[in-house]
Amino acid sequence: MSIALYILVMAGVTYLIRMLPFAFFQKKIKSVFVRSFLHYIPYAVLSAMTIPAIFYSTGNFITAAAGTVVALILAYFNLPLIVVALAASLTAFGIDFLPF
């Protein structure tokens, strides 16, 4: 089968999933319960995506755990996203050179 067809289906489905709710959910939701639910969604989703996946993100539990601890500490002190992200990465990279 032509790869163009695969790509078309893949891209089309992915776009529609994003577009339909985004374009046609125009009204403000009144219900306090639903609003609260949507308020918590970003935090819940990001948390589920990060934990436990972050510990597998470098292919080595030790380097990933070290990067996670550094990221947690820097995030706690409100450092900018890019600083936290790079520091986690550099920590994981540096720890990889330790002789254990």
Partner 1 sequence: MKKQSLLLSGMKDGIPIALGYLSVSFGFGITAVGLGISVLNSFIISLTNLTSAGQAQGVSIIAANGSLLEMALVQLIINMRYALMAISLSQNLDKSFRLRHRLIAAYGITDEIFAVCATRKEPIKPMYMYGIIIVSTAGWTSGTVLGASAGTLLPSNLISAFGIMLYGMFLAIIIPPAKKSFSVLLVIMVSAGLSTICKYLLPFISGGFTVIICGIAASLIGALLFPVGEEKKA
Contact 95, 70 (CB under 8 A): no
Q: Which two tokens stand for residue 95?
A: 């720890």
Q: Does 100 bind partner 1 (CB under 8 A)?
A: no
> Which one, of 73, 46, 68, lies nearest residue 58 by Cα?
68
28 vs 99, beta carbon nearer partner 1: 28
In the complex, the smallest distance separating the C-beta of residue 100 from partner 1, rounded to whole angstroms, is: 15
Chosen residue from 61, 96, 99, 100 binding partner 1 by CB under 8 A? 96
> Interface residues for partner 1 in 3-22 (CB under 8 A)?
3, 5-7, 9-11, 13-15, 17-22
What amino acid occupies position 39? H
When asked if residue 61 is in the footprint of partner 1 (CB under 8 A), the reply is no
Q: Which residues 39-58 are close enough to bind partner 1 by CB under 8 A?
A: 39-54, 57-58
Q: What is the largest CA-CA distance in the chain?
A: 58
Does 28 bind partner 1 (CB under 8 A)? Our answer is: yes
Count of residues binding partner 1 (CB under 8 A)? 74
CA distances (Å), origin 38, targets 12, 31, 32: 26, 11, 10
